């Protein structure tokens, strides 16, 4: 769906809605890997592509710069941020450990409501992994993205039940960088089987209502994902 273009006639509220709509579209394009790392993001070309004036494009790019997905250099404009460095990857996983282990601990008190949703998320994750394994070369990248969306949905299901909106917001910020990390992953050397097994341990802990075991399983999972991600860089 195309964003509406006539900015000058909009009220302040509808102009903000237009800016937010453009932001959402650009964010989706970035996370879908439509732009290569380091690619320029020309305001005029994006304005023509989305059929809006340059103003909401410029405002959305300013917002996106705060996510780390976009960078701006003086006299050179905006570009897609380069892949995460090894140090940035370590910091990202460290942040995820702090936030997601805490969320798993707190979500255990709502395990009766959580478990059914988490089982469904786990089943979708397994299905997406199978889809990737069976994909031909033409559909492989699309199935890879579907797999990682299902992977994040498993984590997001726990976050929704942790009873702390600020933990959810902090995890959402980290999720954009997690997607950014995955865009540079080598599609043939994934950790799907291990991730699914680790998710199964987390699910089983919640099924028992054991918050301590759930948080320990989440800790092992994120540390395992970190180890595998860093191994790809060596």
At residue 189's C-alpha, the angle toward residues 184 and 190, to 5°, is 80
Residues of the chain with CATH 1.10.10.10: 12-80
Can you say how many angstroms the Cα of residue 184 is from the centroid of all Cα atoms in its chain? Answer: 13
Q: What integer pLDDT is reported at residue 17 of this predicted model?
A: 74
> Which tens digit of pLDDT belongs to each residue from 45-67?
999 999 999 999 999 999 888 77
Q: What sign for the dihedral angle of Cα 142, 144, 150, 155?
A: negative
Q: Which two tokens stand for residue 205?
A: 């802990």
> What's the CATH code, domain 86-232?
1.20.120.530
State how far the Cα of 233 lies from the Cα of 1, in Å rounded to an integer: 38
CA distances to 77, 164, 203, 205, 207 from 210, rounded to whole Å, are 51, 19, 10, 5, 8
CATH of 12-80, one of 1.10.3720.10, 1.20.1050.10, 3.20.20.140, 1.10.10.10: 1.10.10.10
Q: What integer pLDDT is reported at residue 175 of this predicted model?
A: 82
Predicted model pTM: 0.74
Residues of the chain with CATH 1.20.120.530: 86-232
Please give the DSSP secondary-structure letter assigned to residue 81: P
- Which residues touch 122 (CB under 8 Å, ≥6 apart)? 154, 196, 199, 200, 203
Query: Which of 118, 109, 116, 120 has the alpha carbon at shortest distance from 157?
Result: 118
Computed on alpha carbons and rounded to an integer, the radius of gyration of the chain in Å comes to 19
What residues in the chain have per-residue pLDDT under 70?
1-16, 180, 182-190, 234
């Amino acid at each position: 769906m195309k964003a509406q273009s006539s900015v000058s006639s909009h009220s302040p509220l509808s102009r903000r809605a237009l800016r937010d709509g453009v932001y959402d579209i650009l964010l989706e394009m970035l996370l879908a890997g439509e732009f290569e790392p380091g690619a320029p993001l020309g305001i005029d070309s994006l304005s023509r592509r989305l059929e809006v004036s340059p103003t909401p494009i410029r405002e959305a790019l300013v917002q996106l710069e705060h996510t780390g997905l976009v960078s701006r250099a003086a006299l050179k404009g905006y570009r897609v941020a380069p892949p995460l460095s090894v140090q940035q990857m370590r910091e990202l996983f460290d942040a995820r450990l702090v936030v997601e282990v805490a969320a798993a601990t707190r979500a255990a008190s709502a395990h009766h409501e959580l478990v059914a949703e988490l089982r469904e998320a786990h089943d979708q994750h397994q299905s997406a992994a199978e889809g990737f394994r069976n994909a031909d070369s033409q559909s492989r990248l699309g199935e890879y993205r579907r797999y990682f969306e299902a992977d994040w949905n498993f984590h997001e299901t726990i976050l929704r039940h942790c009873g702390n909106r600020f933990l959810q917001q902090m995890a959402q910020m980290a999720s954009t960088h997690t997607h950014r990390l995955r865009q540079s992953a080598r599609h043939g050397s994934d950790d799907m089987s291990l991730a699914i097994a680790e998710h199964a341990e987390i699910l089983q802990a919640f099924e028992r209502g054991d918050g301590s075991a759930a948080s320990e399983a989440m800790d092992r999972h994120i540390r395992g994902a970190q180890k595998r991600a860093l191994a790809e860089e060596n």
